[in-house]
Amino acid sequence: MDRVVHPIEQESFRRLRARLDTSHFPPLTRAVVERVIHSAADLDYASDLVMDEGRLEKAHAALHAGAPVVVDVEMVAAGITRRETVCRLRDAEAGPGLTRSAHAIRLAYEQVGPGALWVIGNAPTALEELLILDVSPALVIGLPVGFVGAAESKAALRESGLPAVSNVSEKGGSAVAAAALNALLYHPLSPSEETS
């Protein structure tokens, strides 16, 4: 993806790297960590985020091969500016034992099927619903924020064994979830990915 980086963004990343050594992270992990930190100006994400480089490589390949990207809220979609996303929250309805966010995840899965990248930055109940469904994702970026259910839903994501980016604490949100996806979207293809 050809992308012109604004001088302010370049300077922001220079300052980030001056304050935090990220050189020990593998390439995609480093990209996600740095872009999430950049989006939140929060260096603590370096030790709070949890992901696996091998799984990020597979998700990166799937993303660049055109796998659908599903988001839980329009705020996440707004942060992903160089890729179409699926968000079904406007079509969803709450019901007994089912939040609107959870229903939106059901509707999105009916639309996209397996193999999508799921970006959850707002609603823990959306992540919980995703874990109930057998979505066979390329990746789940599970970074919902909040004091009720956020840390627990992310712990359940890590325990599920699904390929994921999550964090341990209660923090997260739309901006950091979009940033994690953008890190994969902006990262260049390796020579082996370009020829496959």
First to last CA, the chain: 16
Rounded Cα distance, 165 and 180, in Å: 8
- Residue-wise pLDDT for 185-195, tens only, equals 998 876 554 44
| Torsion angle (degrees, nearest 10) of CA 172, 180, 31, 189 | 170
pTM of the model: 0.92
Which pLDDT value is given to residue 165?
Answer: 98
Catalytic residue among 6, 38, 60, 187: 38
Residue 58: both structure tokens together = 């597979």
Which pLDDT value is given to residue 189?
Answer: 73
- Residue-wise pLDDT for 58-102, tens only, equals 999 999 999 999 999 999 999 998 899 999 999 999 999 899 999
Rounded Cα distance, 64 and 30, in Å: 18
Identity at 121, one-letter amino acid code: G
Q: Is 24 a catalytic residue?
A: no
C-alpha neighbours within 13 Å on the C-beta side of residue 51: 31
Which pLDDT value is given to residue 2?
Answer: 66
